[in-house]
Chains A and B, each alone.
Chain A
Amino acid sequence: MLPVYFGQKKSVSERVDEMAKVLQRAEITLRSFYVFNSNLSQKEGEEHKKILFYHPNDIELNTKIKDVGLSEAIITFTGTFTSEDDCKALHTQKTTQLFYQPEPGFWLVLVVNVPKEVKLKEGVEVADYRGGEVSDRIYQAVLRQCYHMYRFHHGPLQTKLTASPGSEEAEEQRQQLAADLKKFYDRYLATLKDLAQCDIMDMLHSIQYLALDKSLFLRAHNFSMLCDTFTAVKECIMFYNDQVVCGGKLAASDLYSLHSYVLGTVSEAGSVDAFRTGAFVLEGEKPIATEVYLDLDKQIRPHCLLIYRALNVTLCLFVDAVPTQEFYEELHAYLGPQLSCLAKDIATASKLNASVSATTATNPDDGSAKYLFINEQSLKHHTNIHRNAKSIPRNVMSIIADLANPIQEISAAEELQVKTTNDYWIVKRRCNWRQYYVILSKSKATTLLDVTQEAKRIFEQELTDDVFFDK
């Protein structure tokens, strides 16, 4: 029997279900991920050509072709009613499949197995597929990031296919693109975050910014003047540990890609000690000079990325071409002393901050009020939610993801409060391109008015932060 009917209320059998013992629970997992372009296979019998990448690789080609065929059919079906590039998701009893067409003709599809619970019901093991727990919006964002990360490293897909269709050269280009995709995604998917852990921050692609006092912030900001001193430097981004200090003019999705790339690279580069006085991050013997694609001034163009590090500060410099040895030396001489000095000062300041907040902040699971603030324009966020500490139940995080406004959505100021069945309160405010959430549990506030008061207090206490009010 198919899961075709959902009563509005809990049914008798559902209540029995709840009582039924959950023997086993499988969380959401990646089932497959593929990239295809239907235009690449014109002839019958060449269906495999449209598949540019398919993960996992070790399944029959025929299955891959069938899966892609289903995706194409779903896209065509929705196209009957709306424009063809509008297709977003397919839900089946056992899977959720997300669709994304970043460039005309190129589709990325992410298929996940929905969480599954095996229950003992009247002595029989019954599988219960929990498709409702999967938030489309979160995994849609994960899928978008899959593309953006690729584009960040390799540029748009279409630029690799320039030859006229049908020619031998076109086939070579197709194979080259498939090889590129394979190389990139085999590695990327292996390091992909556990899908079960994805939440609203993944959805909004927001990054935690470092809060600094005004003078330190200005000093840090002055480094972006580097671009004036060294005209070859087009853009300059600064991180402190995993937090952003200056985000420059980078598009939010590029900054997010850069952030995850740099964090990975830097952590491989060795301990802080190696960068006591500042140095370029090396790849083998030579400084890293990776080609990356940035969406600057509405144009996606390749740039050369250099990573310079002093203590915990990481500076990302984008230049036009691989620089000469002299240029490296010149930059190092300029950056070394200043940056390591700044890094020390930031360290001192944030230690001070940490000790202040240590008195107020407590262990993550104590049921104290949690908050999350998101600046939609810069995609900065500010929170005391420890993301992996499970301090907040899954249903509450999912509700926040439901409530969160898509970034581009224009709507009036809103205020909203909800109470979950496990007695968590979520208060949301949205105004002036900012979304604020406060999560209360086990709090003394139990009525609508108390909760309003308590949330107001937290908004006022936490929103004194410069990062949220500047710019």
Chain B
Amino acid sequence: MEIEKTPPNVATSDTNSTCEYMDAEGEPETDADLSASDLYQEAVHGAEAEQQGHSIISVLRDELVPQTRNNLSPDSETAATAGQSKDLAASVESLALSTSTSAKTEDSGSTNALDDDTYDYQHDRVWRGQKKHIFILSEAGKPIYSLHGNEDKLATLFGVIQALVSFVQLGQDAITSIHAGSIKFAFMQRNSLILVAASRTNMSVQQLQLQLSDVYYQILSTLTYSHMSKIFEKRKNFDLRRLLSGSERLIFNLLANDSSHAKVTNNIFTFLTNSIRVFPLPTAVRSNIVSAIQSNCSKIKNLVFAVLIANNRLITLVRLKKYSIHPADLRIIFNLIECSESFKNSENWTPICLPKFDMNGYLHAHVSYLADDCPACLLLMSVDRDAFHTLSEAKERITEKLRRSLCLQAINDELKQPHNVKLYQQVQSVPELRHFLYKPKATAQLLCPMLKHPYKSLAEFERLEAIYCDLLHRIHNSSRPLKLIYEVKEREVVLAWVTATYELYAVFESIVDKTTVIDYVAKLIKWIEKEYDVFFIRNHPTF
């Protein structure tokens, strides 16, 4: 399988790249928090342009390797080499495991039934009527991915898309979107790929493009930018699916997070607000967890990030000084964990590219759940591809320490609750408040309460999703942004409010009056500020 061979190759080639110290993403600012918040708001082009042909990972490795040589005795180095073959075997095995679950079973709908070559999608009403479509193809028009339907059978459509894009390109221009009465299409071109999203929902073109960029990063996270560029340089009409086989499930899971796949979850809101969610924990517990990781990891060379997550939420991120993880990269990590049941069974050693961090190289991640009785997943990410054993031992010690300090217990307690108790009580105390999204400006983290009546039904949830899409679009409209929206709708009263420190989007019962809404909002903000450290992580600690 090609995919298993690529990581080492690419990693080797990385060492050849230039050894500059700084990079757009990893600017070593002394004020780590400020730089972190700026990072999250970074536009892609600039960063991407600067990153091409340059790798933080190689910088890190170059930086660290001499130290390694100085600090480690030759003996330990040979020991590591001796263990290498065994580790690589383990790595291959774990990848094989994760790819084996990859069949596109989720999306059988209209696909499997139509196996004959004369599949006429234009007259397939189910296919045509899908709420959302995603098409990915190469610039040469080779199909790479379609959310619905077998992409081979859609070759004509892919051809049309390619023709449209290249025709407009000939006039030194680029298609950004097409609008029809009931459906809109967003286009995006990146590094020899054409990505197209079609949607019948309220999602704006910018929001669709954000989703496309998440998918694009998902692909990079499997292949890396430099590897993909090289492939297309060599062969323009290369069939990229050969290299992506196994990661379709990741792409699918990333895209299937909303009402278009009949999912009623808060997940969609993290991508709409370009943020992640935090696992609520008492501050003492969280700092115990952080110190458990720090004390066991600070001496491990080449370790860049330690990420602990549970239930799709971040418990903690401990990082190497100067570096941080962009929320888009964190979403890729969440997505990987959510999609890979196999991680639950054993320790894993897997290469992962975090495109916002370094789109040209792989980090090597030790992925494992803390314990059989605690389903929180720990990722230890290193630039050293031989660090499996070191990290595996560190993980054992971390788990042990967390168990002793009752942190495992605390995580389990929270996991057992259907909702966070404090949040639940707060929401219960304002029954007219149906739902809200709160995002501090300093961090790309989102707080939202569990979905309750009436939004538990799909139809109603769709409306909620549409309301938020609309509010977010209007507030962040690049040519005419707004500070505040207060709207009395037929079924609800909605408020969007952007201040210097936070963004709040709230949905109320339709019967409340303006004074009451203002009171409730003041109350809510006050409560969030009081409980801030339970629901948000102000600074990501360093090793």
Q: Which residues of A contact B (CB under 8 A)?
A: 1-14, 66, 70, 73-74, 76-78, 80-82, 86-95, 130-133, 136, 395, 398-399, 402, 411-421, 423, 448-449, 452
Residue of A nearest to B472 (CB): A8
List 14 A–B pairs whose Cβ atoms lie within 8 Å, in order of A's numbering. A1-B49, A4-B213, A8-B273, A8-B476, A12-B42, A73-B163, A78-B180, A81-B183, A81-B198, A82-B128, A82-B181, A448-B514, A449-B514, A449-B518
Contact yes or no, B483 A419, CB < 8 A: yes
Q: Known contacts being A78-B180, A94-B173, A132-B479, is A6 close to B209, with CB within 8 Å?
A: yes
| Chain B 188-220 near chain A by CB (<8 Å), digits 1 or 0 | 111000000010000001100110110000000
Residue of A nearest to B478 (CB): A132
Contact yes or no, B209 A395, CB < 8 A: no
Which residues of chain B are near A73, meaning CB under 8 Å?
A: 160, 163-164, 167
Contact yes or no, B480 A7, CB < 8 A: no
Residue of B nearest to A90 (CB): B178
Known: A7-B41, A93-B176, A418-B482. 15 other contacts (CB 8 A): A2-B189, A5-B45, A11-B42, A13-B43, A74-B164, A81-B128, A81-B133, A82-B128, A89-B177, A90-B175, A91-B179, A132-B478, A412-B490, A420-B480, A449-B514
Q: Known contacts being A1-B49, A449-B515, is A78 close to B178, with CB within 8 Å?
A: yes
Tell me whether B238 is interfacial, beta carbon within 8 Å: no
Bound CA–CA A214/B310 (angstroms): 72
Which residues of chain B are near A5, meaning CB under 8 Å?
A: 43-45, 188, 209-210, 213
Contact yes or no, B41 A12, CB < 8 A: yes
Bound CA–CA A452/B175 (angstroms): 42
Tell me whether B90 is interfacial, beta carbon within 8 Å: no
Bound CA–CA A90/B48 (angstroms): 27
Bound CA–CA A11/B46 (angstroms): 10
Checking B160, B488, B515 against A414 with a beta-carbon cut-off of 8 angstroms, the contacting residue is B488
> Could you tell me the distance in whole angstroms from the C-beta of B489 to the nearest C-beta in chain A?
6
Checking A9, A398, A419, A423 against B480 with a beta-carbon cut-off of 8 angstroms, the contacting residue is A398
Tell me whether B474 is interfacial, beta carbon within 8 Å: yes
Tell me whether B485 is interfacial, beta carbon within 8 Å: yes
Which residues of chain B are near A9, meaning CB under 8 Å?
A: 40-41, 274, 441, 476
With contacts defined as CB atoms under 8 Å apart, how many contacts are there between chain A and chain B in the complex?
Answer: 189
Bound CA–CA A13/B178 (angstroms): 27
| Chain B 154-184 near chain A by CB (<8 Å), digits 1 or 0 | 0001001101100110001111111111110
Bound CA–CA A418/B42 (angstroms): 27
| Chain B 429-452 near chain A by CB (<8 Å), digits 1 or 0 | 000000000000100000000000
Tell me whether B38 is interfacial, beta carbon within 8 Å: yes
Which residues of chain B are near A3, meaning CB under 8 Å?
A: 174, 176
Which residues of chain A are near B173, meaning CB under 8 Å?
A: 92-95
Tell me whether B21 is interfacial, beta carbon within 8 Å: no
Residue of B nearest to A401 (CB): B480
Contact yes or no, B128 A6, CB < 8 A: no
Residue of B nearest to A411 (CB): B490
Contact yes or no, B514 A452, CB < 8 A: yes
Which residues of chain A are near B483, meaning CB under 8 Å?
A: 419-421, 423
Residue of A nearest to B495 (CB): A448
Which residues of chain A are near B187, meaning CB under 8 Å?
A: 4
Bound CA–CA A420/B172 (angstroms): 34
Contact yes or no, A415 B487, CB < 8 A: yes
Contact yes or no, B182 A91, CB < 8 A: no
Bound CA–CA A4/B484 (angstroms): 27
Contact yes or no, B209 A416, CB < 8 A: no
Checking B472, B482, B489 against A419 with a beta-carbon cut-off of 8 angstroms, the contacting residue is B482
User: Quick one: which of A88, A413, A449 has the most chain B CB within 10 A?
Assistant: A88
Contact yes or no, A131 B176, CB < 8 A: yes
Contact yes or no, B42 A415, CB < 8 A: no
Contact yes or no, B488 A86, CB < 8 A: no
Bound CA–CA A74/B489 (angstroms): 35
> Could you tell me the distance in whole angstroms from the C-beta of A132 to the nearest C-beta in chain B?
4
Which residues of chain B are near A2, meaning CB under 8 Å?
A: 174, 176, 188-189
Contact yes or no, A417 B178, CB < 8 A: no
Bound CA–CA A78/B205 (angstroms): 16
Q: How large is the interface on B (under 10, 10 to 19, 20 to 34, 35 or more residues)?
A: 35 or more
Bound CA–CA A77/B162 (angstroms): 12
Which residues of chain A are near B454, meaning CB under 8 Å?
A: none
> Could you tell me the distance in whole angstroms from the C-beta of B398 to the nearest C-beta in chain A?
34
| Chain B 282-296 near chain A by CB (<8 Å), digits 1 or 0 | 000000000000000
Q: Known contacts being A86-B181, A93-B174, is A448 close to B45, with CB within 8 Å?
A: no
Bound CA–CA A4/B49 (angstroms): 13
What secondary structure prevails in chain B residues at the interface with A? mixed
User: Quick one: which of B121, B187, B486 has the most chain A CB within 10 A?
Assistant: B486
Tell me whether B122 is interfacial, beta carbon within 8 Å: yes
Which residues of chain A are near B38, meaning CB under 8 Å?
A: 12
> Could you tell me the distance in whole angstroms from the C-beta of B40 to the nearest C-beta in chain A?
8
Bound CA–CA A9/B481 (angstroms): 10
Bound CA–CA A233/B518 (angstroms): 59
Contact yes or no, B180 A1, CB < 8 A: no
Bound CA–CA A93/B472 (angstroms): 23
Nearest first, the 9 closest Cβ-Cβ pairs linking A and B are A11-B43, A132-B479, A412-B490, A419-B484, A6-B206, A5-B44, A4-B188, A395-B480, A415-B488
User: Quick one: which of B182, B183, B480 has the most chain A CB within 10 A?
Assistant: B480
> Could you tell me the distance in whole angstroms from the C-beta of A75 to the nearest C-beta in chain B?
9
Which residues of chain B are near A87, meaning CB under 8 Å?
A: 178-180
Bound CA–CA A8/B273 (angstroms): 7
Tell me whether B477 is interfacial, beta carbon within 8 Å: yes
Which residues of chain B are near A76, meaning CB under 8 Å?
A: 160
Which residues of chain A are near B484, meaning CB under 8 Å?
A: 417-419, 448
Contact yes or no, B482 A8, CB < 8 A: no
Residue of B nearest to A3 (CB): B176
Which residues of chain A are near B487, meaning CB under 8 Å?
A: 414-417
> Could you tell me the distance in whole angstroms from the C-beta of B262 to the nearest C-beta in chain A?
20
> Could you tell me the distance in whole angstroms from the C-beta of A259 to the nearest C-beta in chain B?
28
Contact yes or no, A136 B179, CB < 8 A: yes
Bound CA–CA A12/B518 (angstroms): 33
Which residues of chain A are near B175, meaning CB under 8 Å?
A: 90-92
Checking B43, B122, B180 against A88 with a beta-carbon cut-off of 8 angstroms, the contacting residue is B180
Which residues of chain A are near B178, meaning CB under 8 Å?
A: 74, 77-78, 87, 89-91
Checking A82, A91, A95, A395 against B183 with a beta-carbon cut-off of 8 angstroms, the contacting residue is A82
Bound CA–CA A76/B482 (angstroms): 36
Q: Known contacts being A11-B41, A131-B176, is A417 close to B486, with CB within 8 Å?
A: yes
| Chain B 524-538 near chain A by CB (<8 Å), digits 1 or 0 | 000000000000000
> Could you tell me the distance in whole angstroms from the C-beta of A217 to the nearest C-beta in chain B?
34
> Could you tell me the distance in whole angstroms from the C-beta of A115 to the nearest C-beta in chain B?
9
Residue of A nearest to B182 (CB): A82
Which residues of chain B are near A66, meaning CB under 8 Å?
A: 167
Contact yes or no, B479 A130, CB < 8 A: yes
Which residues of chain A are near B45, meaning CB under 8 Å?
A: 1, 5, 13
User: Quick one: which of B38, B44, B133 has the most chain A CB within 10 A?
Assistant: B44
Contacting residues of chain B (108-152) with chain A, CB-CB under 8 angstroms: 121-122, 128, 133
Residue of A nearest to B515 (CB): A449
Which residues of chain B are near A395, meaning CB under 8 Å?
A: 479-480
Q: Known contacts being A78-B180, A91-B175, A419-B483, is A448 close to B160, with CB within 8 Å?
A: no
Contact yes or no, B42 A7, CB < 8 A: yes
Which residues of chain B are near A93, meaning CB under 8 Å?
A: 173-174, 176
> Could you tell me the distance in whole angstroms from the C-beta of B139 to the nearest C-beta in chain A?
12
Bound CA–CA A80/B127 (angstroms): 10
User: Quick one: which of A4, A413, A448 has the most chain B CB within 10 A?
Assistant: A4
> Could you tell me the distance in whole angstroms from the C-beta of A242 to the nearest C-beta in chain B?
30
Residue of B nearest to A132 (CB): B479
Contact yes or no, B188 A420, CB < 8 A: no
| Chain B 262-273 near chain A by CB (<8 Å), digits 1 or 0 | 000000000011
Residue of A nearest to B122 (CB): A80
Bound CA–CA A418/B495 (angstroms): 10
Residue of B nearest to A395 (CB): B480
Bound CA–CA A89/B175 (angstroms): 11
Residue of A nearest to B205 (CB): A91
Which residues of chain A are near B481, meaning CB under 8 Å?
A: 420-421
